[in-house]
Amino acid sequence: MTDAPPYVRPPSAESLGQAPGRGRLIGRRILVVGGGQQVVDPATDPVGNGRAMALLFAREGAAVAVADRSRDAAQDTVNLIKGEGGAAWVIEADIAREADVSRMVDEATQALGGLDGLVLNVGIGVGGLGLAAIKADDWDQVLGVNLRGPMLCCREALPRMAEGSSIVFISSIAGLIAGSRLPAYDASKAALGGLMRHVALEGSRKGVRANIVAPGLVDTPLGRRATQGRPGRGTAPQFFGRQATGWEIAYAALFFMSDEAVYVTGQILAVDSGLTGIS
């Protein structure tokens, strides 16, 4: 008797980025930090999380400021949005630099005419695998981008955000369970939960919500690059028989950004086919 083949969850129109907008963000002004995309293979690259979110928010009626440390990557996202008739602006900024963060929030607020949405889609993982291989400089670099950067963004943006705004942190299930073998990355993503809850507490004074989307394994250009360095990532078991798409992460962020989540704050949503809940 042979084992039955694993169930494969067929992608929906939303999974493929083919569903029409439904007007869920009309009038919203959103800054997407990390809205560009790294290039691994231009001919086959799927959409990344940041680009998918920026495109989806625009399709849903929002005006979007796309920030990235690569101006070209941000410009490509903006071109796609404008090609679909949306409104978008480019901002070049590296959130590891405090001055860049302040300027980025200034430029976004001015371009959009205000700010009522912020997405923090940033994260790096550098250094060797395991505690014995990590260097102090690598640790500092990872936490500087993955934790200090989002803190600076919230510090600068929260006072300027309109009542009822939403902040969405894009984290990782590496902050919930062990497995990446990158101690600094895991620690930074776990600590992001503490930062998010503090932001939710301060934001509650004017109805600003803060939540986390924690993706599992996602088929993005960055994910494919990670798999090149760690082939086991590409063969890890998935309850739905495949990795997520960037669009599926974007729809989770859309829920938190929309008024459908008006009574949800301080929460972590794992988009991982159940890896952290039923494995």
Half-sphere exposure of 15 (CA within 13 A, CB side): 11
φ, ψ of residue 270 in degrees (nearest 5): -85, 125
Catalytic-labelled residue, pool 7, 185, 251, 263: 185
The most distant pair of C-alpha atoms in the chain lies apart, rounded to whole Å, by 65
Q: How far apart are CA 210 and CA 268, in angstroms?
A: 10
φ, ψ of residue 245 in degrees (nearest 5): -100, 160
What single letter denotes the amino acid at residue 53?
M
Please name the helix (run of DSSP H) or strand (run of DSSP E) that holds residue 203, with its range, or none.
helix 183-203
Residue 220 to residues 50, 100, 193, 227, Cα–Cα distance (Å) = 10, 26, 23, 10
Q: How far apart are CA 19 and CA 255, in angstroms?
A: 15
In this structure, the chain runs to a length of 279
Tell me whether residue 263 is one of the annotated catalytic residues.
no
Rg (CA), the chain: 18
CA nearest neighbour of 214 among 163, 260, 262, 180: 180
- Phi-psi map region of 274: left, alpha, beta (phi>0 left; psi -120 to 50 alpha): left
In this structure, are residues 74 and 67 in contact, taking their beta carbons and an 8 Å threshold? yes
Q: Under 8 Å CB-to-CB from 104, ≥6 apart: which residues?
A: 31, 33, 67, 91, 93, 95, 153, 156
Residue 188 to residues 166, 210, 248, Cα–Cα distance (Å) = 22, 17, 23
What single letter denotes the amino acid at residue 106?
D
Residue numbers annotated as active site:
185
